[in-house]
Amino acid sequence: MLARLATRQRNFLTRNLTQLAAQRAATPAQRSSALVVKQYNVHLMKQQQQQLRTALGATVCSRTFCSSNNKQGDDEDLLDAQDFIVNKDQKLPATVAVPEVWPHVPLLATNRNPVFPRFMKILEISNPQLIDLIRRKVKLNQPYVGIFLKKDSSNEAEIVQKLDEVYKVGTFAQIQELQDLGDKLRMVVVAHRRIQITGQILEELMPQEKTTTIHYPLFNIKMQIPADETAQTGSSSKPSTDAERRKMSRKARPGRLNKREVPAESTTTTGTQETIYDSNVKKTPLTPGDAKATSETPEATTNKESPVNEAETSPDPMPVLMVEVVNVKHDNFQQTEEVKALTQEVIKTIRDIVIMNPLYRESLQQMLHQNQRVVDNPVYLCDLGASLSAADPEELQKVMEEMDIPKRLHLALAILKKELELSKLQQKIGREVEEKVKQQHRKYILHEQLRAIKKELGIEKDDKDAIGEKYREKLKDKTVPENVMAVIDEELNKLNFLESHSSEFNVTRNYLDWLTSLPWGVTSEENLSLEQATEILNHDHYGMDDIKKRILEFIAVSQLKGTTQGKILCFHGPPGVGKTSIARSIARALNREYFRFSVGGMTDVAEIKGHRRTYVGAMPGKTIQCLKKTKTENPLVLIDEVDKIGRGYQGDPSSALLELLDPEQNSNFLDHYLDVPVDLSHVLFICTANVIHTIPEPLRDRMELIEMSGYVAEEKVAIARQYLIPQAMRDCGVEEKHITITDDALNTLIRSYCRESGVRNLQKQIEKVVRKVAFKIVQKEGDHFEVNTNNLTTFLGKHVFSSDRMYEQTPPGVVMGLAWTAMGGSALYIETATRNAVKSSKSESVGGTVHVTGNLGDVMKESAQIALTVARNYMRNVDAENNFLDITNVHLHVPEGATPKDGPSAGVTIVTALMSLATDKPVRQNIAMTGEVSLKGRVLPVGGIKEKTIAAKRSGVTCVILPEENRKDYDELPKFITDGLEVHFASTYDDVYKIAFGHSDQELKTQHQQQQ
């Protein structure tokens, strides 16, 4: 490339010198006509360049420069019009013609790496001021710059505002090649020597040259030339010769002033002001008055009459564009043994780096000149080592600034050693990565060869064929329906035509995975032995006779029919009574696979029915997932918390359960994902709920409801002995020899800490006791601990419940009622009191009112109004003269106002409380009642008899009044619940009044015996 460029420069120089000699020999008239032809040629040449630039998409002008001593005015205009100004001798390097002293240079600041002498670097600048300065310097045949390193490497600005932003020592460089890209310049510079900044030179701005458009009709050409060259005739004030025009053009250029043109005043007023005759710069002292006098407008610059020191002041500080520099020479040194040893070590280190990293070999070949011995020049060797390395800018700058050659060799050697260690580490990492890649590549090649060999021998088939064979193998032992098998065959055929990398291939493959994974025709062998099932159920759970009896009936029917069947059961009851755990025991008793999922809070129908296959990440519903996991068609599926199912914008899951839990429809259950009918008629569905009134009526109608009531104290004690205490001891690692819990402690624990219907809280309290015992054992406080009523509070703290009874002796106007809650039964008091009596002579015309409080619901509020009417009517029959309820405002309150209360079972209790308040007589002690009353005084049946009876017994009640129609419910209660209770059944309120007020204990006992 350099040879081609030199040849081009030599040819162009010969042509320019020939034209210059011809012009000097010609007459003025010939010169004038020659100038017109020259301008036309220049215009044609510019048009060709413009077309070439448009085709290439960028404006690129290339120049190669060197220094020149030509100061002739006639030659300067000719040289300015050329595209290339070249060396006179192409065989000599560019450094031969570089001047030894050049005090004023443009400042180029670099970020990362300094440019060391005798090395080249490509620089790009885009700052308009710096671009304009470089262009002017190049036009003046002064292609020299000073390259200095910035102190802050993060500073991306191309020009600096202060000299403190760059290091003082840099390099003097020559612009070897210049490419003008319009908005930026790209330069190839060659550094020659070290220089040091001594001061800043204030640079003047370049004026805009006035041009005039000239039209040549003969050639049909329009071109723009300087205004000074347009007037050839008709104006005596402008020059008529080409030489005069060139002289005037030179005089009009800013900053190019002759010494005789500077007024005497300028030298006296500016003090030490200095005019430079071969450049556009002025050096001024950095005084407060002259620091800003660096920016002139084009008009002021072109005015030759104005003094040199007149300049417009700029409000902003002038950036550093030109600097004054001096050459920096290193200290004299001698070729001592130390220098020779350092030189050899540097060369050896460079050789090692080049051997380890081939990239440095290419860089070294580009940096070294031909026929130059590096070994004989320690100065150049230091710069070579620093240029090869990628050290920190501060370390490289130290090499640049060090003038002592032995010390510079030490610095360069330290940098090269670091680079060598980095190259070793890089080579080590590269070796490890290459070894790993080689192993993986070798393994891949061997696998591919093995696959090809197996395919040739017929041992292994193609991937798609293998996938199809795998699916058919999975279906070999299954009884697949014909319609499902047709879908599977169709999908397998489609899979063979799909590309393995397409998205549809993965969708089809997942669909086939689900279809072939379902247990088509596969069922587990069911246990039909009643004795074995009874043993398993009794072993796992205490009580629950209704549920156990229903499961045994299910087994008996299956034994008679000889086939298994599906059923939908719903266990409802308070929390902690064992609804979920009994389902697992049922699955074990029937020898069925067990699967549980909860629908509490579920709002998406897709959880039941599945997603469409068009969606990303689509999956079947929970039921299909159950079949795939259990691998049988007859599992036991527990749908937990069915009373707490949600409803959202994705649909109503309770409606989707209608198809799933309908025995007439689930034999052809259609999932959205599978889109083929699936038989669920053999599945035993068990649902659990706390309350059933929140279950939608159509869904509740499809299920067989089995109530699971709470446990009484005796049942809780048995459950604790048989299940809870042994399980807690196993979980805590405590043995029987370490702890003993007495029956009195268990009764106190149940009565004072765990009054709820279930046993979940009882389990937590027992685990708490056992944990504390385990802690004492580890602390070696003893080997055996007995838990009794005396030390129970030390394990569990103070009692949570003291008593359900607010009154030891019930006063007038207060009656105990029985209520049912989700936690079981509870006893609550109905309190009545007088608000204010209505005093009027006409008391018959004034009616009393009842004011209710206690967070009562609408049903109980209506019951209170009905009870007031029933009490008034009944009072007229009992005591016609008693008009208390007619003229008195009554306040009715149910304690624990923070707890919402509602339900149709407090009618007889409210009527009795009003009658007790009106007659001012207390009801019988230790009595509780429940039942709704009609407007005519009929006692209506209620629910929750077992829970209410348990609550009454827990509260220490000995007499209970129940509706007559609930006699059948009471008769089904276990004997240990009814022991110690005196129960009366009432059909009208008159029966309730006689029991609560009118009869003695002996009469009531006789009546009770007669009823039995």
85 or 103: whose pLDDT is higher?
103
Q: In this predicted structure, what is the pLDDT of residue 211?
A: 55
HSE-CB for 727 with a 13 A CA cutoff:
14
* pLDDT 10s digits, 980-992: 889 999 999 999 9
3-state secondary structure 170-197: EEEEEEEEEEECCCCEEEEEEEEEEEEE
Q: State what percent of residues in the chain have pLDDT above 70.
A: 73
Gyration radius of the chain's alpha carbons: 55
- Mean pLDDT confidence for 290-311: 35
Q: In this predicted structure, what is the pLDDT of residue 885?
A: 87
Cα 149 off chain centre by: 43
* pLDDT 10s digits, 19-56: 544 444 444 444 444 444 455 455 555 554 554 444 44
Q: Is 907 annotated as a binding residue?
A: no
- Say if residues 221 and 43 touch (Cβ distance below 8 Å): yes
CATH number at residue 352: 1.20.58
Is position 788 within any domain? yes
Binning pLDDT at 50, 70 and 90, where does residue 837 land?
A: low
- Say if residues 858 and 902 touch (Cβ distance below 8 Å): yes
Is position 454 within any domain? no
**Residue 854 token pair:** 């206690």
Binning pLDDT at 50, 70 and 90, where does residue 18 land?
A: very low
Q: Is 802 a catalytic residue?
A: no
- Dihedral pair phi/psi, residue 955, rounded to 5°: -85, 0
Which range among 148-152, 428-432, 666-670, 1007-1011 shows the weakest confidence by mean pLDDT?
1007-1011
User: Averaging pLDDT over each range in 78-92, 195-209, 629-643, 698-712, which range is the top one?
Assistant: 629-643
* pLDDT 10s digits, 712-757: 778 888 899 999 999 999 999 988 888 999 988 998 898 888 878 7
Binning pLDDT at 50, 70 and 90, where does residue 297 land?
A: very low
- Say if residues 188 and 177 touch (Cβ distance below 8 Å): yes
Quick one: 963 and 852 in the same domain?
Answer: yes
CA nearest neighbour of 586 among 640, 541, 631, 641: 541
Q: In this predicted structure, what is the pLDDT of residue 771?
A: 93
Cβ within 8 Å of residue 291, ≥6 positions away? 318
* pLDDT 10s digits, 313-332: 444 567 888 999 999 888 88
Say which of 905, 916, 953, 955 is annotated catalytic: 905
State how far the Cα of 618 lies from the Cα of 284, in Å rounded to an integer: 81
- Say if residues 64 and 141 touch (Cβ distance below 8 Å): no
Give just the sign of the alpha carbon dihedral 544, 546, 550, 556: positive
- Mean pLDDT confidence for 812-830: 83
Q: Is 577 annotated as a binding residue?
A: yes
- Mean pLDDT confidence for 630-639: 92
Q: Is 813 annotated as a binding residue?
A: no
- Say if residues 843 and 886 touch (Cβ distance below 8 Å): yes
CA nearest neighbour of 232 among 5, 39, 458, 426: 39
- Say if residues 962 and 985 touch (Cβ distance below 8 Å): yes
Residue 595 pLDDT more than 80? Answer: yes
Is position 986 within any domain? yes
Q: In this predicted structure, what is the pLDDT of residue 5?
A: 42
Among 201, 225, 256, give the residue marking a domain's end.
201
- Mean pLDDT confidence for 265-270: 33
Residue 197 pLDDT more than 80? Answer: yes
Q: Is 480 annotated as a binding residue?
A: no
Number of domains into which the chain is organized: 6
678 or 499: whose pLDDT is higher?
678
* pLDDT 10s digits, 762-783: 999 999 999 999 999 999 888 8
* pLDDT 10s digits, 645-667: 887 777 788 888 888 888 888 88
Residue 195 pLDDT more than 90? Answer: yes
Which region, left, alpha or beta, applies to residue 941 given φ > 0 means left and ψ of -120 to 50 means alpha?
beta
Return the SS3 of 109: strand
DSSP 521: T
Is position 626 within any domain? yes
Quick one: 397 and 483 in the same domain?
Answer: no
Quick one: 696 and 612 in the same domain?
Answer: yes
DSSP 892: E
Between vectors from CA 230 to CA 228 and to CA 233, what angle results, nearest 5°? 110
* pLDDT 10s digits, 469-480: 888 888 888 889
Residue with tokens 């079972």: 905
Quick one: 117 and 175 in the same domain?
Answer: yes
> H or E element: which one contains 852?
strand 850-853
Angle between helices 242-252 and 28-56 (to 10 degrees): 60
Is position 283 within any domain? no
Quick one: 340 and 396 in the same domain?
Answer: yes
Quick one: 693 and 723 in the same domain?
Answer: no
Give just the sign of the alpha carbon dihedral 1000, 1002, 1003, 1007: positive
Residue 69 pLDDT more than 70? Answer: no
CATH number at residue 192: 2.30.130.40
State how far the Cα of 551 lies from the Cα of 589, in Å rounded to an integer: 9
Q: Is 271 annotated as a binding residue?
A: no
- Mean pLDDT confidence for 829-834: 91
Is position 791 within any domain? yes
Cα 542 off chain centre by: 50
Quick one: 783 and 747 in the same domain?
Answer: yes
- Mean pLDDT confidence for 372-397: 77
- Say if residues 837 and 897 touch (Cβ distance below 8 Å): no
State how far the Cα of 907 lies from the Cα of 265, in Å rounded to an integer: 123
CATH number at residue 765: 1.10.8.60
Which range among 224-228, 868-872, 909-913 shows the weakest confidence by mean pLDDT?
224-228
Helices vs. strands in the chain: H and E counts, helices first: 35, 29
646 or 220: whose pLDDT is higher?
646
Q: State what percent of residues in the chain have pLDDT above 90.
A: 18
Angle between helices 858-878 and 907-919 (to 10 degrees): 40
* pLDDT 10s digits, 199-217: 888 765 444 455 566 666 6
Quick one: 475 and 556 in the same domain?
Answer: no
Question: Which residues is 687 bridged to in the sheet?
Answer: 570, 639
Is position 114 within any domain? yes
Which range among 43-57, 196-210, 573-587, 897-911 shows the weakest confidence by mean pLDDT?
43-57
Quick one: 361 and 417 in the same domain?
Answer: yes
Q: In this predicted structure, what is the pLDDT of residue 182?
A: 82
3-state secondary structure 594-612: EEEEECECCCCCHHHHCCC
Rounding to the nearest 10 degrees, give the CA dihedral for residues 783, 787, 792, 794.
Answer: -10
State how far the Cα of 569 lies from the Cα of 703, in Å rounded to an integer: 5
Q: In this predicted structure, what is the pLDDT of residue 216?
A: 63
Q: In this predicted structure, what is the pLDDT of residue 91?
A: 35
Q: Is 580 annotated as a binding residue?
A: yes
Outline where DSSP puts E strands in 120-269: 120-125, 144-149, 169-180, 185-203, 211-216, 221-226
Q: Is 948 a catalytic residue?
A: yes
Average pLDDT score over the chain:
76
Q: In this predicted structure, what is the pLDDT of residue 290?
A: 37
User: Concatenated DSSP letters for 380-399?
Assistant: HHHHHHHHH----HHHHHHH
State how far the Cα of 585 lies from the Cα of 621, in Å rounded to an integer: 25
Residue 676 pLDDT more than 60? Answer: yes
Between vectors from CA 616 to CA 615 and to CA 621, what angle results, nearest 5°? 65
Quick one: 508 and 541 in the same domain?
Answer: no
HSE-CB for 965 with a 13 A CA cutoff:
11
CATH number at residue 1005: 3.30.230.10
Cβ within 8 Å of residue 934, ≥6 positions away? 866, 907, 940
State how far the Cα of 381 lies from the Cα of 408, in Å rounded to an integer: 10
Quick one: 724 and 693 in the same domain?
Answer: no
Distances (CA, A) of 887 to 85, 838, 892: 128, 6, 16
DSSP 930: -
State how far the Cα of 979 lies from the Cα of 984, in Å rounded to an integer: 14
* pLDDT 10s digits, 920-966: 899 988 899 999 999 999 999 998 888 888 888 877 888 999 999 99
* pLDDT 10s digits, 350-375: 888 777 776 666 666 655 554 455 55
Quick one: 635 and 774 in the same domain?
Answer: no
Which range among 146-150, 450-454, 633-637, 654-658 shows the weakest confidence by mean pLDDT?
450-454
Is position 287 within any domain? no
Residue 309 pLDDT more than 70? Answer: no
Structural domain harbouring 979: 814-837+847-1011
